[in-house]
Amino acid sequence: MLKKKGFVLVVGICFIILSFGITPLMAQGTRETVKTGTDGLPWWNDRTFYEIFVRSFQDSNGDGVGDLQGVISKLDYLNDGNPNTNSDLGVTGIWLMPIFESPSYHGYDVTDYMKVQPAYGTNDDFKQLVAEAHKRGIAVIIDMVLNHTSSQHPWFKDAQTPGSEYDQWYRWSEGDKKPPQIGPWGQEVWYKLGSRFYYAVFWDQMPDLNYRNPAVVQEAKKIAKFWLSDMGADGFRMDGARYYVEDPNKLADSEGNIAWAKDWNAYINSVDPNAFTVAELWTNSGDVAKYMPDGFDMGFEFDLSAAMLDSARRGTNEAVAPVQARALGLYKPGQYAAFLTNHDGYRLMNEMGKNPDKVKVAASMLLTGDGVPFLYYGEEIGMIGGKPDECIRTPMQWDATPRTEDFMTGKDCSTNEATFNVAAEENDPGSLLNHYRTLIHLRNDHSALRVGALIPLASSNKAIYTYLRQSSDETVLVLINLGKSAVSDYSLSADWSPLSGEWNGQLILGGGTVTRLKLGERGAIQNYTPVSTLAPFSTTIVRFTGVS
């Protein structure tokens, strides 16, 4: 069944389409009833999202902790709201990591779902952030942490008394004998407290809520409505979304969990037809796809992330090409979240062996490819970071000034702000920052790069990753040389394409002279070399401008 948010029927990979252009978000309280994006896809397909750890982004009051006012002060860095400038990054959505009241630096153990973490500011600060973001055409989604609470949450404190009001809001096992059950990745999940054991899939300080209990379900919906209706959020990143509902012999991706997701999204749509849900489903693509389209709006594509990293690291398309092709067959057009790294994994610079050129080609795959792209703060300037998690979440490097946060104490976190920072890269045409800016602005300016169908092409040279992107009003060709050597001995081919006849091409990124594309039967592409030489670690984008 098609959802009311604007999906289109698809035959193969061709769209039946209408073009609406990018629709900026309305200011809080003046949203349209239903908002449709370009080519009839949902509005989020016109977005590039940027993940922010508020604590590490920008401190507005000098107390050593990043805050919401700090984020507001840096909105113009993300997007100044003027489509005629390109000195901003160009992102059109932000995802805030948890901002609820919590005793931990990371915020994933909540003590009050209706209150902003005091160190970050107030609920009114959040409303101001949403209003200022919307003025600039930026959507704001927040991390919704519903699988568990903090062990310090008043609900759990009450639940420690058997038979109390909140007793059945958590999962308990009676008796002195620990249940033999182990977690989805072989971890301990049952922890003794008094005369009972409680269930916690992630950490003993984050007990799981019991979503078999209707009262818990209703409370979760109450929380969601508060943030959508009262606070103005545009949607949610659903944390730990595989684990809300456990079946006796299946603790992740159970049938009960998938049913819960469908009920949840139906409720979210009833509150706000424009609200967006993107789920953290850290598993293989086949299991992620089970939640769509009737459950969450999107899931993060972890298999594709790993494949893009592998191809960028090794300089060959052999990893990414088949995984991308599989993703195209699993989801409705563009309905998955593409990413390279996030707050849980090594930073992109580390993944690429601290080679900025490899970072650039990885970014090119993400920002010219299918799906909705999400990038982690600081990746655009080449920040480094690895385990433990604290070292992946270090302060944003606005300039060369070394900065630390309390949560980094004793963690021996390495940083590289002396070389890689916004101030140093701002006016360097060859910097990572300006590479990201160029790609994001091209994506904003070209519907084919935002919402176009992706048609894979074969390259005779494995260093070249290539595809067409086609929307209702344009077709572009993307060529990414993943390797460290210039490539001239290559040609492209496809047994089928949506094109016909002969086409002229115009470069919108890269160098060289574009040769004419002549199509065979069924749009076949045979031995086509669009540009004579592709520079090392380069990205070339050709827009086909007309049939001759």
How would residue 68 be classed by pLDDT, with cut points 50, 70 and 90? very high
Say how far apart CA 209 and CA 221 lie, in whole Å: 14
Question: Would the CA dihedral through 443, 444, 446, 450 be positive or negative?
Answer: positive
pTM: 0.93
Question: Given this model, what pLDDT does residue 24 score?
Answer: 41
Question: Given this model, what pLDDT does residue 17 score?
Answer: 32
pLDDT per position as a tens digit, 331-352: 999 999 999 999 999 999 999 9
pLDDT per position as a tens digit, 397-422: 999 999 999 999 999 999 999 999 99
Q: Is 441 helix (H, G, I), strand (E, B) or coil?
A: helix
Residue 195 included in any domain: yes
Long-range contacts, stretch 352-359, CB < 8 angstroms, 24+ apart: 352/309, 352/312, 352/313, 353/313, 354/384, 356/382, 356/432, 357/484, 357/536, 357/537, 358/312, 358/313, 358/315, 358/537, 359/312, 359/432
Say how far apart CA 276 and CA 461 lie, in whole Å: 39
pLDDT per position as a tens digit, 159-216: 999 999 999 999 999 988 999 999 999 999 999 999 999 999 999 999 999 999 999 9
**Residue that finishes a domain, picked among 448, 476, 494:** 448
Based on the fold, state whether residues 438 and 403 are members of the same structural domain: yes
Question: Given this model, what pLDDT does residue 175 score?
Answer: 87
Does the pLDDT at position 234 exceed 60? Answer: yes
Structure tokens, 169: 């809001």
Based on the fold, state whether residues 186 and 114 are members of the same structural domain: no
Q: Report the pLDDT averaged over residues 353-374.
A: 98
Q: Report the pLDDT averaged over residues 424-444.
A: 97
Residue 430 included in any domain: yes
Based on the fold, state whether residues 84 and 18 are members of the same structural domain: yes
Structure tokens, 116: 């902003």
Q: Which residues are catalytic?
A: 239, 280
Question: Given this model, what pLDDT does residue 511 score?
Answer: 95
- Domain extent for 348: 10-147+216-224+231-243+276-448
Based on the fold, state whether residues 34 and 87 are members of the same structural domain: yes
- Judging by beta carbons within 10 Å of its beta carbon (0-12, 13-18, 19+), is residue 341 exposed, middle or buried? buried
pLDDT per position as a tens digit, 505-528: 999 999 999 999 999 999 999 999
Question: Given this model, what pLDDT does residue 523 score?
Answer: 95
How would residue 547 be classed by pLDDT, with cut points 50, 70 and 90? low
Residue 534 included in any domain: yes
Based on the fold, state whether residues 299 and 377 are members of the same structural domain: yes
Does the pLDDT at position 548 exceed 70? Answer: no
Long-range contacts, stretch 324-329, CB < 8 angstroms, 24+ apart: 324/369, 324/370, 324/454, 324/456, 324/467, 325/456, 326/285, 327/285, 327/301, 327/303, 327/370, 327/371, 328/13, 328/370, 328/454, 328/456
Omega within 30 of 0 (cis) for the link into 273: no
Does the pLDDT at position 277 exceed 90? Answer: yes
Q: Report the pLDDT averaged over residues 129-133.
A: 98
What is the CATH number for 503?
Answer: 2.60.40.1180
Based on the fold, state whether residues 330 and 366 are members of the same structural domain: yes
Number of CB atoms found within 10 A of residue 161's CB:
11
Based on the fold, state whether residues 429 and 295 are members of the same structural domain: yes
Question: Given this model, what pLDDT does residue 214 score?
Answer: 98
Provide the H-helix boundaries in 290-378.
302-314, 320-330, 348-351, 356-368
**Residue 39 near residue 23 (C-beta atoms within 8 A):** no
Residue 249 included in any domain: no
Look at strands 464-470 and 502-509 and give their pairing.
Answer: unpaired
- Judging by beta carbons within 10 Å of its beta carbon (0-12, 13-18, 19+), is residue 314 exposed, middle or buried? middle
Long-range contacts, stretch 178-181, CB < 8 angstroms, 24+ apart: 181/251
How would residue 266 be classed by pLDDT, with cut points 50, 70 and 90? very high
The larger pLDDT score, comparing residue 22 to residue 354, is at 354
Does the pLDDT at position 494 exceed 80? Answer: yes
* Side chain identity at residue 439, one-letter code: L
Based on the fold, state whether residues 376 and 408 are members of the same structural domain: yes
Question: Given this model, what pLDDT does residue 26 score?
Answer: 37
Residue 394 included in any domain: yes
How would residue 79 be classed by pLDDT, with cut points 50, 70 and 90? very high
Based on the fold, state whether residues 121 and 176 are members of the same structural domain: no
- The label of the residue with tokens 């943030």 reads 227
Question: Given this model, what pLDDT does residue 274 score?
Answer: 97
pLDDT per position as a tens digit, 9-67: 333 333 333 333 344 443 333 344 567 899 999 999 999 999 999 999 999 999 999 99
**Residue that finishes a domain, picked among 418, 448, 478:** 448
Based on the fold, state whether residues 326 and 465 are members of the same structural domain: no
Based on the fold, state whether residues 42 and 186 are members of the same structural domain: no
How many structural domains are present in the chain?
3
Q: Report the pLDDT averaged over residues 487-502.
A: 96
Based on the fold, state whether residues 434 and 484 are members of the same structural domain: no
Over pLDDT 70: what percentage of the chain? 93
Say how far apart CA 202 and CA 76 lie, in whole Å: 37
* CB crowding 501-517: b at 16 or more within 10 Å, else e: eebebeeebbeeebeeb
Residue 484 included in any domain: yes
Residue 468 included in any domain: yes
Question: Given this model, what pLDDT does residue 10 score?
Answer: 33
How would residue 356 be classed by pLDDT, with cut points 50, 70 and 90? very high
Say how far apart CA 455 and CA 443 lie, in whole Å: 17
Residue 208 included in any domain: no
- Minimum mean pLDDT among 8-22, 133-147, 371-385: which range? 8-22
